Amino acid sequence: MELPVATAEHVVKEFVSGFGIAVPRGATARSAEDVAVAAGGLTPPLVVKAYGPGLVHKSEAGAVRLGLGSPVKAARAAAEIRAALTGSGVTVEGYLVEEQAPPGVEVIVGAVRDPSFGPVLLVGLGGVWTEVLRDTALRLCPITEDDARRMLAELRGAALLDGFRGSPAVDRDALVKLLLAVGGPGGVVESLGEGFTEFELNPVICTPEGAVAVDARLLGPADVTPRECAEPLSQNFDLLFAPRGVAVVGASTKRPNFGNMFLGFYRAAGHTGLVAVHPTADEIDGVPCVPSLEGADVDYALVAVPAERCPDVVREARGIPFVQVMSGGFRETGAAGLEDELLAAAHDAGVRLLGPNCMGVYSPAGGQTFIGGRPGRPGRIALISQSGGLAGEVIKVGEHRGLAFSKVATVGNSADVGPAELLRYFAADDDTSVIGLYLEDPRDGRALFDALRAVSKPVVALVGGRSAQGHRAAASHTGAMVGDARVWEALAMQAVLPLVTAQDDLIGALDLLDLHAGREVPVSPDVLVVGPSGGASVLAADALDRAGLRLAPLPGVDLGLPVGAVPGNPLEIPVGPRGKPDLVGQVVTAIQREADRPYPDVITHVNVQSFFTFGDSADPLLAYARGVGELQRELTGTRVILVLRNAEYAPAGVEDELRAIARAAGVPTYRSVEAAATAVAVAKVRDQRRRA
């Protein structure tokens, strides 16, 4: 069936009924007078609606009449609608007369096309009230039956479906079937393909007898500019992260610029095989020059020349596997045409393009850098970032705390190499065990979703720009309710992907995932919290609650708790300058031994300030940290976490020393219980995935 833009309701209904979706029996008439005849075979009560271009929200325009007792009354109602619409600017093309479905619970089922993730399915309660209630659940299409059932369970008003205050339970299976018929494999959304922007059944009336779509709306075709999906030329990024030679294009002999800065970075990193490209100079900043990329025997070229010149430079890069365009001034400033030209140049030259508008690549083992100074020690954390600046901060601050990275890629505008492809590479990379993502607007969202579902290594994502919602021009309720934040939440649920909301939490989560990577702990939301102070314990409980973690009660046996302990979870124990450094170890070991279900995670916290108020040496605090380290060595099947509350109170250097002691034992440290709880919550999402 050929479906035009803003399709008439009866045409959409006929189309969806082909997918097994129940719609009211009905007929159409071109004029109000013909409605009586058209309604001949229908059983009252009847409904009459006008249709025509521009009639999107019919009842608002006065184009819907309900509860009509006979075909003649239906015809009269149609005439009244016509009279009401006269002069309103709306052209009535005809009338739909149909049987009125019995009342029930009204739900909305809709789909929109997200610009990067493709079709998204929405279900919500409330029929006409949905936008007010905003009680909706989302999934990326295609959905599974499990997704459909979970979507319904997620609704705050789900109890309405099960019968409320004497009303009978609706046929949930019929609604699940309808959701699958819309958003499942081979469903309405899939068969519409590119041919829609918004699709909506609102309302679907649910009763114990079934689910009937009494209204259907289809807007399209989609305004999608399909991305050119040329087959990737190379999936192997080994040389990107360990190039045997690097050429820098754009460094100046007179006025130091970004190119000169990068020459400096590579020299500081001790890179051998560095050349600068310059038409006349023999050397720049002590680096030998070649006149063009054509004469450079390198695996990687960094281009930092004005945007208009970049396509030409890239054309000269034939034979070089990877070219990074650092320059900005492309799609991000509205110059999409220039970016297309750049991509075409890269394709012509057979090179893979990183950027434009990106900082580059960092890999301590492979001599790649963009951060200045000496690279850190090689580690096992990989990062893909759509912001170069943020990636630099995560590396610098992370390394300061003791984290170590395998490979970091900033992708900028991702004209060619994008997050999805890099994620697939890191998923198989022997040097990487944990992957972090910073994303704003992944242009290959669909591929990223698929890659996220396929990767078995732990991944944590920080997504920026999620609050910038409502920019989507929407003609349907569904369209208005699918904000970016909701799409990401749906994706996170379907891909079992933990999301964090701050840069510091990304670092904290990566640290915990990396340090505890090898530990297989029981899959449960349980956490034990141990430390001094009543107030801190109460606040810790609140913080864990917010993070969705559970403070399971202590085992109900004699644990031989020390004097001054207040039993419970959080467990309050005296920790201070005069306390026993191994106290926390003894207590926690006893608890884990006695517990029927040992705690997967133990957060130990300490008030650093008290050690320097009631004492004057760091030694007891260092001894305490060593005690926590011992505890971790003892409990190999438990993730131990150390929180140094009020660490800023310690004399200079002490916090770093504490961190180093904990890290040596595999224990990550945080400055607040909130930060620790966020990282633990990320690990718990990861655990769930391991089980699945």
- Nearer to Mg ion (CB atom), residue 215 or residue 505: 215
Within 8 A by CB and 6+ apart from 445, the residues are 114, 115, 116, 117, 118
Taking CB under 6 A as the criterion, the residue among 203, 259, 392, 629 binding ligand ADP is 203
Phi and psi at 437, nearest 5°, equal: -130, 135
Interacting stretch for ligand ADP, rule CB under 6 A, among 79-87, 94-102, 390-398, 571-579?
A: 94-102
Dist CA 150 CA 164 (whole Å): 20
Distance of CA 471 to the CA centre of its chain: 18
Return the one option of ligand ADP, Mg ion, none that residue 127 interacts with (CB less than 5 to 8 A, by type). Answer: ligand ADP
CA angle 549, 554, 558 (to 5 degrees): 170
Interacting stretch for ligand ADP, rule CB under 6 A, among 52-60, 87-95, 411-419, 435-443?
A: 52-60
Within 8 A by CB and 6+ apart from 627, the residues are 581, 582, 583, 584, 585
Dist CA 220 CA 223 (whole Å): 8
Asked if residue 563 lies in contact with residue 505, where contact means CB atoms within 8 angstroms, the answer is no
- Nearer to Mg ion (CB atom), residue 206 or residue 510: 206
- Nearer to Mg ion (CB atom), residue 215 or residue 601: 215
Asked if residue 247 lies in contact with residue 277, where contact means CB atoms within 8 angstroms, the answer is yes
Q: Does 130 bind Mg ion (CB under 5 A)?
A: no
* Lookup: tokens for 366: 């492979």
| Binders of ligand ADP in range 293-332 (CB under 6 A) | none
- Nearer to ligand ADP (CB atom), residue 124 or residue 585: 124
Kindly write out the interface string for residues 57-86 of this chain, putting x where it contacts ligand ADP by CB under 6 A and - elsewhere. xxxx---x-x--------------------
Phi and psi at 476, nearest 5°, equal: -110, 165
Q: Does 17 bind ligand ADP (CB under 6 A)?
A: no
Return the one option of ligand ADP, Mg ion, none that residue 253 interacts with (CB less than 5 to 8 A, by type). Answer: none
- Nearer to Mg ion (CB atom), residue 215 or residue 526: 215
Kindly write out the interface string for residues 21-40 of this chain, putting x where it contacts ligand ADP by CB under 6 A and - elsewhere. ---x----------------
Q: Does 13 bind ligand ADP (CB under 6 A)?
A: no
Interacting stretch for ligand ADP, rule CB under 6 A, among 97-105, 468-476, 546-554, 597-605?
A: 97-105
Interacting stretch for Mg ion, rule CB under 5 A, among 152-160, 195-203, 343-351, 618-626?
A: 195-203
125 forms beta bridges with 107
Interacting stretch for ligand ADP, rule CB under 6 A, among 98-106, 506-514, 529-537, 653-661?
A: 98-106
Return the one option of Mg ion, ligand ADP, none that residue 30 interacts with (CB less than 5 to 8 A, by type). Answer: none
- Nearer to ligand ADP (CB atom), residue 58 or residue 686: 58
Dist CA 383 CA 461 (whole Å): 10
Closest approach of Mg ion to the CB of residue 215, in Å: 3
Dist CA 276 CA 249 (whole Å): 6
The identity of residue 489, as a single letter, is E
- Nearer to ligand ADP (CB atom), residue 78 or residue 325: 78
- HSE, side-chain direction, 13 A CA sphere, residue 402: 21
Taking CB under 6 A as the criterion, the residue among 6, 21, 29, 47 binding ligand ADP is 47
Return the one option of Mg ion, ligand ADP, none that residue 98 interacts with (CB less than 5 to 8 A, by type). Answer: ligand ADP
Distance between terminal CA atoms of the chain? Answer: 40
CA dist 400 to 376, 394, 408, 546, Å?
A: 9, 10, 16, 29
Pairing outcome for strands 381-385 and 405-410: parallel
Kindly write out the interface string for residues 144-183 of this chain, putting x where it contacts ligand ADP by CB under 6 A and - elsewhere. ----------------------------------------
Closest approach of ligand ADP to the CB of residue 60, in Å: 6
| Binders of Mg ion in range 213-252 (CB under 5 A) | 215
Kindly write out the interface string for residues 120-149 of this chain, putting x where it contacts ligand ADP by CB under 6 A and - elsewhere. -------xx---------------------
> Counting beta carbons within 10 angstroms of the beta carbon of residue 407, is it exposed (0 to 12), middle (13 to 18) or buried (19 or more)?
buried
DSSP 214: -
| Binders of ligand ADP in range 206-245 (CB under 6 A) | 214-215
Dist CA 555 CA 66 (whole Å): 63
- Among 287, 275, 349, smallest CA distance to 315 is for 349
In what order do the strands lie in the sheet containing 434-439? Answer: 361-362, 405-410, 381-385, 434-439, 459-463, 499-500
Closest approach of ligand ADP to the CB of residue 376, in Å: 59
Q: How crowded is residue 330: how many other Cβ atoms within 10 Å of its Cβ?
A: 25
Q: What is the CA radius of gyration of the chain?
A: 31
- Nearer to ligand ADP (CB atom), residue 219 or residue 435: 219
Return the one option of ligand ADP, Mg ion, none that residue 323 interacts with (CB less than 5 to 8 A, by type). Answer: none
Phi and psi at 152, nearest 5°, equal: -65, -40
Closest approach of ligand ADP to the CB of residue 48, in Å: 9
Closest approach of ligand ADP to the CB of residue 474, in Å: 14
- Nearer to ligand ADP (CB atom), residue 82 or residue 446: 82
Closest approach of ligand ADP to the CB of residue 123, in Å: 16
Dist CA 419 CA 425 (whole Å): 10
- Among 109, 77, 114, 113, smallest CA distance to 96 is for 77
- Among 179, 143, 144, 140, smallest CA distance to 161 is for 179
* Residues touching ligand ADP, count (CB under 6 A): 18
Dist CA 183 CA 354 (whole Å): 35
Closest approach of ligand ADP to the CB of residue 379, in Å: 56
- Nearer to ligand ADP (CB atom), residue 22 or residue 180: 22
| Binders of ligand ADP in range 99-118 (CB under 6 A) | 100-101
| Binders of Mg ion in range 69-98 (CB under 5 A) | none
Closest approach of ligand ADP to the CB of residue 38, in Å: 15
Distance of CA 376 to the CA centre of its chain: 28
DSSP 601: E
- Nearer to Mg ion (CB atom), residue 55 or residue 121: 55
137 forms beta bridges with 123
- Nearer to Mg ion (CB atom), residue 84 or residue 290: 84
Q: Does 404 bind ligand ADP (CB under 6 A)?
A: no
Asked if residue 199 lies in contact with residue 189, where contact means CB atoms within 8 angstroms, the answer is yes
Asked if residue 460 lies in contact with residue 423, where contact means CB atoms within 8 angstroms, the answer is no
| Binders of Mg ion in range 197-216 (CB under 5 A) | 202, 215
Dist CA 605 CA 537 (whole Å): 9
Q: How crowded is residue 149: how many other Cβ atoms within 10 Å of its Cβ?
A: 16
Taking CB under 6 A as the criterion, the residue among 49, 73, 443, 659 binding ligand ADP is 49
Element (H, E) at 301: strand 300-303
| Binders of ligand ADP in range 589-618 (CB under 6 A) | none
Residues that bind Mg ion (CB under 5 A): 202, 215
Residues that bind ligand ADP (CB under 6 A): 24, 47, 49, 57-60, 64, 66, 98, 100-101, 127-128, 202-203, 214-215
